[in-house]
């Protein structure tokens, strides 16, 4: 019995020892499983951090590029405003104030058939039937100095006062006195005509210089918004630039579980996201001066000094607009010691880039070779003119076009042109926009190919745009719009806060880009004549205008489809303005563009700020 007791005791002791070994083994396995579990969890968390970081970088790049696209759209429309101003000046010079001249082309036959070239003398001459000059001289309804005082005809015949043969002859004395009186009146009319034409040329020059300067300042402010103002700070919660503020908020909301993050904008070389090349005109205004030489009214062709009017801006091709960012953060792991994390994963980093695509600000300065541009080869002609279609050789001076615009000038029911200041100078008003001005402001085929043209949002008097919401949805925010009725169009209130400090408009309030310069010329002789108004930049086609609506292209005007987008492939939907696309960052290192001077060259503003950019393939 004792032996059995000992044996059982030993057996029980052995079992107890085996159970202890299992516990140790279980503890080791559990520890290993826990470490493996912690590793998997931390590694998954690390991957999640990296994915979130990349998403944050992507959305930040997209946000910055979206702001760039918005501003480029606004710049494109203001650039087209400059184009409209120049076209209007060309019409006033070559039509409004030349249509009293001898052989000015007019009539339905010319509109329908039209010769290929004009024969009239394109000189400013406003004196005609029933005109009251600035000097106070009243012309009779039968007087037309512009038609009669042509340099090819020698002007009006001189009024000769014959010598008095018999001083005692009262009839001869009275006749001579009357002839002297008529001669003096004719000489006074000639002197008055000379004064008025020269004054009008000065007035028109100053008006359109002021207009161009106004819109040029808008362009330069927007260029600074994308360059100097933008690179002056980095994205943070105290950023004043709305683009940088939006980029910061985008990253913060995508990384709200991170302890810390840092955003670096990979700024371009020379801190330029966009560079505009300004091209001005070298135009001169031609007008008739009048001389009383030989007691006859002789027209003397004269021309003004060169007029420095800004015709538009070209976006330099080598400077590519894009927005690139680098976002870094420290990973947050649940189980791994902080020292291990800092040693193995000091930071996580993500790169992203996006850029505006799909539109244009304006053409190259040599695209419209009818615009007199300084320093351009084969451009010695200083006449104010512009192209209706690419490779145009005549532009506004086409006989058919001149006759068309003459047909739509107001108060033109008389057998001859009316030169009266109050009736003969077309001006828009709140009740009726003059036909000739509406036609000249309408987009041409050339315009639709080379400019970003946004339709008037609502209130159009024709069917340029099939859906009323279409134009409203596309129109750039904070860009003021007015319709052909010379009234502001109430576009949708932008969801972003106003961001332009120096471009506010008294029409719509702070932040809005004013549509009209509201500046006249110097001198009070002509008051507000040709002053820019709201409807000056109404983007309305010619679909409702008699004669033209049957076939706008025959006159060089764009159809609805052409206005919608000059880049639209045949049969596909139109595209207006800039959209945003992601791009591989390394593409900016090897991207080549057509240079401003011709040929192919790499971009001039590659991203800087990180030594590893060249190695990035994302």
Tens-digit pLDDT profile for residues 262-273: 999 999 988 999
What pLDDT, in 10s, does the model give residues 59-73? Answer: 999 999 999 999 999
- Cβ contacts of 85 within 8 Å, gap of 6 or more: 208, 211, 212, 215, 532, 536
Give the residue with greater pLDDT, 63 vs 282. Answer: 63
CA distance 359 to 372: 26
pLDDT at 90 over 90: yes
Give the residue with greater pLDDT, 488 vs 419. Answer: 488
What pLDDT, in 10s, does the model give residues 489-537? Answer: 888 888 888 888 778 888 888 889 998 887 655 555 677 778 888 888 9
Give the residue with greater pLDDT, 414 vs 403. Answer: 403
What pLDDT, in 10s, does the model give residues 193-245? Answer: 677 788 888 888 988 999 999 999 999 999 999 999 999 988 988 999 999 99
Tell me the percentage of the chain whose pLDDT exceeds 90: 22
Amino acid 14: pLDDT: 52
**What is the value of pTM for the model shown?**
0.85
Confidence of residue 18 (pLDDT cuts 50, 70, 90): low
CA distance 341 to 411: 85
> E strand or H helix at 279, and its extent?
strand 276-280
CA distance 200 to 124: 9
**Cα angle 367, 118, 421; round to 5:** 95
Amino acid 321: pLDDT: 93
pLDDT at 24 over 80: no
Of the candidates 481, 575, 489, the one whose C-alpha atom is nearest the C-alpha of residue 537 is 481
Tell me the percentage of the chain whose pLDDT exceeds 70: 69
Which tokens is 108 given?
A: 């339905």
pLDDT at 111 over 50: yes
Amino acid 430: pLDDT: 44
- If you average pLDDT over residues 137-160, what whole number do you get? 61
CA distance 98 to 287: 9
Confidence of residue 13 (pLDDT cuts 50, 70, 90): low
Which tokens is 52 given?
A: 């979130």
pLDDT at 139 over 60: yes
φ and ψ of 563, to 5 deg: -65, -40
- If you average pLDDT over residues 291-299, what whole number do you get? 67
């Amino acid at each position: 019995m004792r032996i059995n007791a000992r044996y059982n005791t030993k057996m029980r002791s052995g079992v107890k020892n085996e159970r202890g070994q299992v516990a140790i083994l279980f503890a080791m396995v559990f520890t290993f499983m826990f470490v493996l579990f912690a590793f998997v969890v931390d590694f998954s968390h690390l991957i999640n951090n990296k994915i979130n970081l990349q998403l944050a970088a992507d959305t930040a790049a997209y946000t910055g590029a979206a702001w760039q696209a918005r501003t480029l759209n606004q710049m494109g429309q203001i650039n087209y405003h400059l184009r409209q101003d120049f076209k209007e000046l060309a019409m006033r010079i070559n039509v409004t104030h030349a249509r009293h001249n001898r052989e000015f082309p007019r009539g339905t036959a010319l509109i329908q058939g039209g010769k290929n070239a004009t024969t009239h003398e394109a000189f400013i001459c406003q004196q005609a039937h029933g005109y009251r000059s600035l000097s106070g001289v009243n012309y009779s309804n039968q007087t037309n100095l512009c038609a009669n005082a042509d340099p090819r005809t020698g002007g009006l015949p001189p009024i000769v006062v014959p010598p008095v043969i018999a001083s005692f002859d009262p009839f001869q004395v009275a006749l001579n006195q009357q002839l002297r009186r008529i001669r003096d009146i004719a000489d006074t009319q000639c002197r008055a005509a000379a004064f008025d034409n020269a004054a009008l040329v000065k007035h028109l020059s100053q008006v359109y210089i002021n207009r161009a300067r106004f819109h040029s300042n808008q362009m330069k402010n927007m260029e600074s918004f994308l360059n100097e103002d933008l690179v002056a700070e980095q994205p943070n919660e105290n950023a004043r630039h709305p683009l940088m503020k939006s980029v910061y908020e985008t990253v913060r909301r995508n990384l709200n579980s991170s302890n810390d993050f840092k955003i670096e904008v990979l700024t371009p070389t020379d801190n330029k996201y966009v560079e505009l090349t300004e091209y001005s005109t070298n135009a001169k205004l031609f007008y008739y001066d009048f001389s009383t030489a030989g007691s006859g009214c002789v027209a003397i062709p004269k021309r003004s000094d060169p007029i420095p009017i800004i015709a538009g801006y070209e976006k330099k091709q080598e400077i590519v607009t894009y927005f690139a960012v680098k976002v870094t953060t420290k990973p947050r792991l649940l189980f791994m010691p902080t020292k291990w994390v800092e040693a193995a994963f000091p930071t996580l980093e993500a790169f992203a880039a996006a850029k505006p695509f799909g539109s244009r600000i304006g053409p190259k300065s040599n695209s419209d070779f009818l615009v007199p541009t300084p320093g351009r080869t084969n451009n010695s002609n200083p006449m104010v003119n512009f192209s209706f279609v690419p490779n145009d050789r005549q532009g506004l001076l086409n006989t058919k076009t001149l006759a068309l615009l003459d047909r739509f000038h107001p108060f033109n029911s008389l057998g001859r042109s009316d030169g009266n200041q109050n009736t003969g100078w077309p001006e828009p008003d709140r009740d009726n926009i003059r036909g000739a001005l509406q036609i000249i402001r309408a987009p041409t085929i050339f315009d639709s190919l080379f400019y970003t043209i946004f339709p008037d949002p609502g209130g159009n008097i024709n069917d340029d745009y099939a859906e009323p919401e279409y134009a409203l949805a596309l129109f750039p925010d904070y860009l003021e719009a007015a319709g052909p009725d010379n009234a502001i169009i109430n576009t949708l209130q932008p969801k972003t806060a106003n961001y332009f400090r120096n471009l506010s408009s008294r029409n719509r309030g702070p932040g809005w880009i004013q549509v009209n310069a509201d500046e006249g010329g110097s001198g009070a002789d002509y008051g507000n004549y040709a002053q820019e108004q709201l409807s000056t930049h109404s983007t309305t086609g010619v679909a409702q205008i008699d004669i033209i609506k049957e076939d706008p292209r025959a006159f060089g005007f764009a159809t609805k489809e052409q206005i919608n987008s000059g880049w639209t492939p045949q049969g596909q939907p139109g595209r207006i303005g800039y959209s945003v696309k992601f791009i591989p960052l390394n593409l900016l290192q090897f991207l080549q563009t057509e240079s401003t001077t011709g040929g192919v060259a790499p971009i001039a503003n590659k991203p800087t700020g990180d030594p590893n950019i060249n190695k990035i393939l994302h």
